[in-house]
Structure 1
Amino acid sequence: MLSSKKIPVMAVALAMILFSFCTWDSRPLNQVKKVVIDAGHGGKDPGTGGGKEKRYALDIALKLGDKIKKEMKDVEVIYTRNSDVFIPLNERAAIANRNKADLFISIHCNAHTTPNASGTETYIMGLHKTEANLNLAKRENNVILMEDNYQKSYKGFNPNSPLAHIMLANYQSAFMNQSMDFASRVESQFRHQGYKSRGVKQAGFLVIWETTMPSVLIETGYLSNPSDARVLASETGRTRKAEAIYQAFRSYKNDVEQNQ
């Protein structure tokens, strides 16, 4: 067990090491002209619900992208995947960084050991406030174990280490406020659509740990909950989920660009 006095020193050291591997490039924070939409899981990684998550997440992502392209001609939409393929987590972030995106949106479905858990959640990078948040981040991050040479790709990152997850928060500190702003709008729109919102939370998801722009991970509902599962299984339900995220994106973009 690590002593409480040693953890801060180790944390700073590890944060500096991790940060040295992050590809950083600055871009204006007062424009939203390019968005990367990431459909969680895919290919050999089915996600939760026996493959339902990878299918539903992709459908919502494509619906969201289509809506943005139709309504906002000045916004370029880039997908990390537009079919049932496996994309390593670090490559998803790299896609956003290479394209100098102004916003990164990762879409997922949730699950819990009890069917009573329900509702939407939107995550930003940050310290783990609850054990549940940490466990969810661990589950999502464990997909790296399916990747070849994952220890080299992620600089020895251990998806089961609480300390390692806490260190990931350092990457997103520069974009915390805008990430929080967009995440809050997403959850507000879900509530407006009549869905239960569990609010904005912080956790260390690898899919957004190396992104150099405001980034969120959206859990659109619990496939382990009968009511949430019915919504996500329906075309109408997925369309409404995409519409809620689009409305959040529209209001976020307008406010960011009006405050230049």
Structure 2
Amino acid sequence: MKKNILLLWLLLGVILPKEATAHYTRGFENGDKDKGKTMTVVIDAGHGGKDPGALGKKVYEKDVTLAVALKVGKLIEENCPDVKVIYTRQTDVFVELNERSEIANRNKADLFISIHCNASKNKTSEGAETYTLGMHKTQDNLDVAMRENASILKETNHQAKYQQFDPYNVVSYIRLSNFQSSYQEQSLDLAAKIQKQFAERVKRKDRGVKQSGFLVLWKTAMPSVLIEIGFISNAQEEAYLMGESGQNYVASGIYRAFKEYKEEIYAKK
């Protein structure tokens, strides 16, 4: 099976886009950083505007992701004065997937963190998981990416923008898996730190670090992760994620993982 997939990759002959191979200077050395800022992080609240994302019984994914994203950003701004925080959205507006990664690239960000909520036909599914860009290993991983990538269907001229990518065609995901990020190791490191916080401090079920073909991560030229903070299809988790306390706990877990990652980078300098 693996040989067949590799052969298909070669036959498809995908060419890496310029954005995916760009190499900005990382490790807090960018010459054009704002004065006093040594690092830039982009916080991406999934969905928004005409794209509600997953639907719970009482809440839309877009509203939970925005609330948590703003809380994560605020924690970083209050506790890490040397870090510049940029949001892909701060209100209920629709932002195209490629524009989200472009915001990070234009600002030469050092990290890209995309926040989402999960959903499943199995109403008992629960827990948090963090993704990096890569080849899915299970159907569940592929299903999550398909649901999140379906946002492009709300965009105009999406086929041209995403090189004929079909969010419901598995071949598109095999092609996308060819785009291996230069920052895969750092992305996996941050993802592991996030999951550790969720399990040990936030006390959420740890669904692990995973990989799949997320378009929002495709062209980011920096370490990037997509976090599924919980299932709003599960009534108990929906209530937790709707509540101020639950959102604060989740945001603090992401913040602590970010801070640990940042401190390790400093220590290597």
Residue 51 of structure 2 is aligned to residue 42 of structure 1: no
Instruction: State which of 253, 259, 262 in structure 2 corresponds to 1:244.
Output: 253
Gaps of 5+ in 1: none
Question: 1:103 — aligned with what?
Answer: 111
Distance in structure 1 (CA, Å) of the matches to 2:203 and 2:184? 27
Range 74-83 or range 7-16, more displaced = 7-16
User: What is the SS of the residue equivalent to 1:170?
Assistant: coil
Are 1:259 and 2:259 matched, yes or no?
no
Cα deviation, residue 24, structure 1? 3.8
- Tell me how many residue pairs correspond in the alignment: 257
1:62-211 to structure 2, matched below 5 A, reads 62-192=70-200, 193-211=202-220
Contact preservation (8 Å) 2:149, 2:215: yes
**Aligned equivalents of 1:89, 1:160: Cα separation in 2:** 16
Cα contact 2:20–2:179 (8 A) shared by 1: no
What is the Cα deviation at residue 173 of structure 1?
3.1
Report the counterpart of residue 16 of structure 1 in structure 2: 14
Q: Using the alignment, how far apart are the partners of 1:189 and 1:8 within structure 2? A: 35
Q: C-alpha displacement at 1:176, in angstroms? A: 1.0
Q: TM-score, normalised by structure 2?
A: 0.90
Question: What are the residue-to-residue correspondences of 1:202-241 with 2, within 5 Å?
Answer: 202-241=211-250
Residues 1:102 and 1:49: Cα distance change in structure 2 (over 3 Å): same
Unaligned runs of 5+ in 2: 29-37
- Alpha-carbon RMSD across the aligned residues, in angstroms, is 1.8
Please say if residues 176 and 214 of structure 1, whose CA atoms lie closer than 8 Å, have aligned partners that are also in contact.
yes
Go from structure 1 to structure 2 and tell me whether the alpha carbon gap of 1:188 and 1:156 turns closer, same or farther (over 3 Å shift): same
Whether the 8 Å CA contact 1:120–1:221 is kept in 2: the answer is yes
After superposing on structure 2, the runs of 4+ consecutive aligned residues of structure 1 that deviate more than 6 Å are: 3-6
Identity of aligned residues (%): 47
How far is the alpha carbon of 1:14 from its aligned partner?
3.9
